[in-house]
Amino acid sequence: MSSQVSYPKQRNELRRRLRYPKLALDEVKAARISRLLLLLTPLLSFTLVEALNYNNPWTDFTAVQILLNLAWYYLGELAFYTIFRRRTSAVKWGLGTAWAFGCASHYLIAFRGRTLFPADFLSLRTAANVAVHYDYTPDFKQVITFLIMLAVLLLVSLLPREARHARSWRRLACTAGVTAAYLALFFGTGIVEALGVQPSLWTTRGNGLLLNFTVCMKYMRTEQPEGYSPQAAQALAGGAAAGAEAEGETPVNVIVVMNESFSDLSVLPGVQTNQDAMPFLRSLTENTIKGYAYSSVFGGNTANSEYEFFTGNTMAFLPASTVAYQLYVSDGDPSLVGQMKALGYRCVAMHPYLTSGWNRVSVYADYGFDETYFQRDFQDWDYLRGKAGEGYVSDRSNYEHLIRLYEEKEAGEKLFFFNVTMQNHSSYNMPWTGLERTSWLTGPMEGKFPTADQYLSLIHESDRAFEELVEYFAQVEEPTMILLFGDHQPQVATSFYNRVLGTDPATAWAEKKQMVPFVLWANYDIPEEEGVELSLNYLSALLMDAANLPRTQYQAFLSRLRRQLPVINTVGIRDSAGNWYGERDALPQTLADQLTQYRILQYNNVFDKDERVPGVFALTE
């Protein structure tokens, strides 16, 4: 008779052999140490996370900010203790989770120049699309904080194994009550604001990572503006009647290019280069309107610039850290696309990258594009800084496909073409494959920021490609208007921007980080203008004015508002006299009233769709 093998017994024996050796401590001493670790670990977690966040938590924050941060760490540890019923498990999970959260934010600072926001969890697919292009080699801070965490986890592992505490419904109810009370106090009252804590959106490292993250969660909802009602929105729109089609030529083709990370670093103080990175754009004067637009985003969240352009809405009135395409767009929402369709244009969108980015497939369908093209729809793209799957489609190749699609249309057919490019996307330490070294920093910064040098060469390449696009349409007989603008400035290196702007700039200086060039050119006679400055929410209204096409009542309101408040974005506001106001600065009453009117109209458009005033945000039949 054969003997039976007890596999569970063998597995248990193997586990015993693989266990760490334990310290010779009695139960009382082990319990005291585990309680001490339970008390001290949130303090250590806070310290490690803020070290990864480039902060010293004990000197950079106020006592209120420190306490509010620690509250989240202790609540997290309490949750793990409730789940696992062991103090040692709560210490391990609390510390490990905190370090991982801090490390994720640390990478975002390196890649995007900002810390982790709640909306980033709504953008995971987009982040995954470009993740392969970044360098994840751990730096000194990551290695040191990891070793500290590892030492603590090793100490915990050497403690005698702790028995699970008996499940107690009384303890569970107490934990749930404390947690619910704190959450209600934090999210349901104004105590956070009363303590002077606001979302940190400039350096994004203010407040501390967990506190800033949760404060941004608090601001993900929007209250009705004072004096709001659909009737008030109707009255405001009625005071800015829609513009009828102006006298003059109108374009058969309207082409809009939102060029990825396209910006002019010469607007930043102290930036010197060996040559102008965009000589062609700078040379355009005939039949041209050009200047600078102020974006609401920096280093990423491209879709928010796209949203502001299409809708005339400003991200300044939406909850901090949100992505409009993820949260606020639904089927049939009014936009420039619907407006152009109502005017008889066939509307085409093209983006030479993946379809999963920023929910664009759904949004473009909601806006009503007739055709959409992504990277997968063409096989003959040319790439810079790598091949397919590694590099990005060049602007030149992008424009070649744009021209091909134009040539396939019927003569005289009205075409509205919206194009988001990809060539200049971060990161800027990718291989130089196919990219000529043409522009770089000189002066005191020469050789110190190689990522900025690669970026400048990319912009020079974009400028040359745009020149070829303009030269092509200059020979086209059909009246054609082209608008090119950047979505945001690049996150070439946090240290670069700290060098040129400082770590805590005033609003007027902080806004230099938001400036992107725009140029509106036509192959027929239009009035020329240079030095125009406006925020991106006004740009589509400017396009319709330049094209002599009818505006909506909303665009008419925005054109009137722009004369008084030419810049409104998430960093600040500028009036017609050139005065800048930060998010905490009081506006003169006249300007505050105008801003409230804008809030009322946007709230009706975005958050009160069932009562959206008809005929205000779209052209009437």
**Residue 243 pLDDT more than 70?**
no
Of 39-53, 105-119, 480-494, the range with the lowest mean pLDDT is 105-119
In the structure, what pLDDT confidence band is assigned to residue 202 with cuts at 50, 70 and 90? low
- pLDDT over 80 (residue 241): no
Confidence of residue 119 (pLDDT cuts 50, 70, 90): low
**289-293, 347-351, 614-618: segment of lowest average pLDDT:** 614-618
Q: Give residues with Cβ within 8 angstroms of 220, minimum separation 6.
A: 118, 319, 320, 321, 322
pLDDT value at residue 2: 47
Q: What is the mean pLDDT of the chain?
A: 90
Q: Tell whether the model's pLDDT for residue 341 goes beyond 90.
A: yes
Cβ burial of 509 (10 Å; 0-12, 13-18, 19+) is: middle
Q: Using 50, 70 and 90 to split pLDDT, how confident is the model at 565?
A: very high
Nearest CA to 100 among 60, 59, 63, 153?
Answer: 153
Question: Tens digit of pLDDT for each residue in 568-617?
Answer: 999 999 999 999 999 888 999 999 999 999 999 999 999 999 999 988 99
Which range is least confidently modeled, 8-22, 92-106, 178-192, 452-466?
Answer: 8-22
Q: Is the pLDDT of residue 457 over 80?
A: yes
147-179 tens-digit pLDDT:
999 999 998 888 888 888 888 888 888 888 889
Confidence of residue 26 (pLDDT cuts 50, 70, 90): confident
Integer Cα distance of 297 and 386 in angstroms: 27
User: 424: Cβ–Cβ under 8 A, 6 or more apart, which residues?
Assistant: 259, 260, 261, 262, 392, 395, 455, 458, 459, 462, 490
Q: Is 162 helix (H, G, I), strand (E, B) or coil?
A: coil
pTM above 0.85, yes or no: no
User: How high is the pLDDT of residue 621?
Assistant: 53
d(C-alpha 82, C-alpha 171), whole Å: 8
- pLDDT at residue 338, as a whole number: 96
> What SS3 class is residue 347?
strand
Q: Assess whether pLDDT exceeds 90 at residue 545.
A: yes
Most confident of 12-16, 323-327, 358-362, 544-548: 544-548
Q: Which two tokens stand for residue 309?
A: 């352009």
Highest-confidence range of 89-93, 180-184, 536-540, by mean pLDDT?
536-540
3-class state of residue 83 by DSSP: helix
pLDDT at 245 exceeding the cut of 60 = no
Q: Which pLDDT belongs to residue 11?
A: 58
Q: Which of 9-13, 369-373, 489-493 has the lowest mean pLDDT?
A: 9-13
Least confident of 184-193, 396-405, 609-618: 184-193
Q: Please answer whether residues 490 and 529 qualify as being in contact, where contact means their C-beta atoms are separated by less than 8 angstroms.
A: no
Mean pLDDT of 301-318: 96
Q: 254 Cβ partners below 8 Å, 6+ apart? A: 340, 345, 415, 416, 417, 480, 481, 483, 543, 547
User: What's the pLDDT at 54?
Assistant: 87
Mean of pLDDT values over 442-464: 97
The interaxial angle of helices 27-52 and 140-158, nearest 10 deg, is 170
Q: Quick one: average pLDDT of 410-432? A: 96
Q: What percent of the chain has pLDDT over 90?
A: 67
Mean pLDDT, range 25-48, rounded to an integer: 88
- Do the beta carbons of residue 36 and residue 25 sit within 8 Å? no
> What average pLDDT does the segment 523-542 reach?
97
Q: Which of the two residues, 493 and 13, has the higher pLDDT score?
A: 493
Residue range 338-352: mean pLDDT, rounded: 97
378: helix, strand or coil: coil
* Distances, alpha carbon 588 to alpha carbons 264, 534, 579, 594, in Å: 32, 20, 11, 10
Task: Taking residues 360-379, report their average pLDDT.
Answer: 93
* pLDDT of the residue at 216: 80
Per-residue model confidence (pLDDT) at position 566:
98
